[in-house]
Structures are given as C-alpha cells and as structure tokens.
Structure 1
Amino acid sequence: MAEETTFRSIMGNYPTGVTVITTSSPEGEPVGLTVNSFTSVSMDPKLISWSIDKSVSTHDIFTEQESFAVHTLAHNQGDICMLFATKGTDRFSQIDWHSSENNLPIIHGYSGLLECKVHKTVDAGDHTMLIGEVVNAHNQETEPLLYHQRVFGAIPKEFYK
C-alpha cells in the first residue's frame, strides 16, 4: 500500500489547471469552490468530471443540485482561486459575477466556461465524483491558470510558436 506522504508528494508534483465550480443553493444563493480534480471524460456525449470532499460544507448543495458551472481560470486569476479556497468568507461579494440563463453563478474573467447538468454522481472514498454533461460552453482563449508545487503560473502563448 502506498504511503500517504509518497502519494501526496507525487500528486503535489503533478501540474494541474485551476477551476472554480459554482452552483446555486436551493435558496438561490451562489455557491462556489476551487477545484483541481477537473477532467474531460467523453466527447460524445460531452462529459466532464470533478470531485468534492465529503467533509466540505457545500458538499450536499453540489451533490443535490441538477447543474453546475466550471470556470477554467485565466492566468491572472490566482486571487480568485485563493478566494474560493478560503473558508468562512463571502466570496461572491468580492468579485464580479452574474447569473447565466441556466441560473448558474458565472464569474467574470474566466479563460473557459462549461455549464453542465449533472449526469451522474459516484461515491469515491472520502470524495464524491460528479460527472456533468456540458450544455453550454464559452472560450475566452486566454492563457489558463496553472498550479504546480503551491505556485501559480501560465505557459505564455509564445512558448508554442
């Protein structure tokens, strides 16, 4: 069995994109959190997945709602990432956002946006995996925010030329 410190070290050395996932509570209040477990699952139908820790205060809101929005953050949104990773703060009062036609909270300035309806939830140990079917997508074509070993960064477009 893999040691926890070894597992954490390997996962911490794996660079990821950074997302903020949002939904609305049953009372219509915006809810969101920072997530780096986001991944593509299928092209036909268009499915994505992400996981939420069962101990997170908004776990039940996310797992009981029918839809959510995935914001792939832009390279200059490290502050948004940290805000949505911080407990005990009114996150939406500190940012620019609006409600979409699907009644989902949308954060301004994202790199990419996927509005999804819940396709399936899967029990996954101390997490719940949510699989979403993409119903709406927007691409700003800006450099995404990357995270590696507790540092934010971006790969400039010039790198690819």
Structure 2
Amino acid sequence: MSPEAAQAVAADPREFRRALGLYATGVAVVTTMAPGGERVGLTINSFASVSLDPPLILWSLAKTSPRLGLFSAASHFAVNILSRDQEALCLRFSRPGEDRFAGLDTEAGAGGVPLVPGSLAQMECAREQVVDGGDHLILIGRVLRHRRTEGAEALVFCNGAFTGVPTRRN
C-alpha cells in the first residue's frame, strides 16, 4: 500500500473504528457514586492493566458522555468484569434513559461504589489520575481490593458481536 493510500485509510474514522472492532475485548460495567448518593454505571470495553506494583488499571470514557463529569470527579470507582451470562446487563448499562440498577441487589465497595452482583471479577479503585486522551479521558485507578470467580465464561465483544471465553485453567 502506498503511503498516500495508508494515510487516506488512517484518516477515515469509520474504517479506523471497524479495524479496532476486530480486536476482541472483555466487557465490564464501571460504577461510582454521584455526590447526591445516586448509583452511576456504564458499560465499557476499554479496560487494561497498567501496573502490578502499585496495582493500577485504566479505562477510558468519551468526552461526550453525559457521565463524564461524575466519573472524572469521583474519588472511587469499581470495574465489574462481566460473565457470558450477563450480556443483558451489559446492554442495560449501555443504553440511556433507564434505571440501570433497577432490580440489582448491589453491595457497597470501596468509597461506597456499587458492585455488580455475579461479575467474574471486581476491581475497587481509588482514582489515581485522569489523563487527556484525544476525544476520551483516560481514568487510572489504584486497585484497593479485588475479587474473582472462576468457572464461568467471560463476556467478550468482537466485530460487533458478543461471545464467551472460558476462564478455567487447565
């Protein structure tokens, strides 16, 4: 491919997004508490480990998100990694306009953040840093507590579709 053709492809946001969609990602719901005590959560697939010592993770949030101010100012948040049987929960937390926590019996994590029941893993974090990342903010959290469950499949998203990946170790 010529440099001109490569540059034209790179400049097309739709094609760039389609290319990124071929990278399989896990799916999680990140949660926090609003200053008035309201539970806040949304679906993410932009989650990664940063460091083991100290234990740091990151996730990113579009600057156009209506929850941007709540998450960027929150002192704590939790990342709840979803299992394959939580696809409906994933979709619920990705849609606007409904009470995302309706019918969920959450428990309070570090800083009072709600923890999503049935998650494969949970990372309870204190906000460490917020970094500008183009059209997103990158939120880095220091993991204060974590827990995990084995045996169920992890929920994965790739090329516009959900699937599962076994979490069992051989």
Kindly provide the CA deviation profile for residues 24-82 of structure 1, in whole angstroms up to 9, marking residues without a partner as x. 00001100000000000011101100000111111000000111000000111000100
Kindly provide the CA deviation profile for residues 59-116 of structure 1, in whole angstroms up to 9, marking residues without a partner as x. 0000001110000001110001000000111111143322225311111000000000
In 2, Cα distance between equivalents of 1:94 and 1:153: 25
Q: Which is higher, the Rg of structure 1 or of structure 2?
A: 2
In 2, Cα distance between equivalents of 1:157 and 1:131: 25
In 1, Cα distance between equivalents of 2:16 and 2:136: 16
Matched, 1:20 2:35: no
4+ residue segments displaced more than 3 Å: none
Give the alignment's TM-score, normalised by structure 2.
Answer: 0.89
Matched, 1:65 2:74: yes
Once the two structures are TM-superposed, the CA of residue 144 in structure 1 deviates from its matched residue by 1.2
Once the two structures are TM-superposed, the CA of residue 149 in structure 1 deviates from its matched residue by 1.6
Residue of structure 2 in register with 1:149 after alignment: 159
Residue of structure 2 in register with 1:95 after alignment: 104
Question: Equivalent pairs: percent with the same residue?
Answer: 39
Aligned residues: 160
In 1, Cα distance between equivalents of 2:114 and 2:91: 18
In 2, Cα distance between equivalents of 1:139 and 1:155: 15
Once the two structures are TM-superposed, the CA of residue 9 in structure 1 deviates from its matched residue by 1.4
Once the two structures are TM-superposed, the CA of residue 140 in structure 1 deviates from its matched residue by 1.2
Aligned-residue Cα RMSD (Å) equals: 1.5
In 2, Cα distance between equivalents of 1:43 and 1:99: 24
Give the alignment's TM-score, normalised by structure 1.
Answer: 0.94
In 1, Cα distance between equivalents of 2:129 and 2:110: 22
3-state SS in 1 of match to 2:112: coil
Once the two structures are TM-superposed, the CA of residue 143 in structure 1 deviates from its matched residue by 2.2
Contact 2:60-2:138 at 8 Å conserved across structures: yes
Residue of structure 2 in register with 1:86 after alignment: 95
In 2, Cα distance between equivalents of 1:48 and 1:136: 12
Structure 1: stretches of 5+ with no match in the other structure: none
In 1, Cα distance between equivalents of 2:23 and 2:99: 30
Distance change in 2, residues 1:90/1:50 (3 Å): same
Contact 2:126-2:141 at 8 Å conserved across structures: yes
Residue of structure 2 in register with 1:120 after alignment: 129
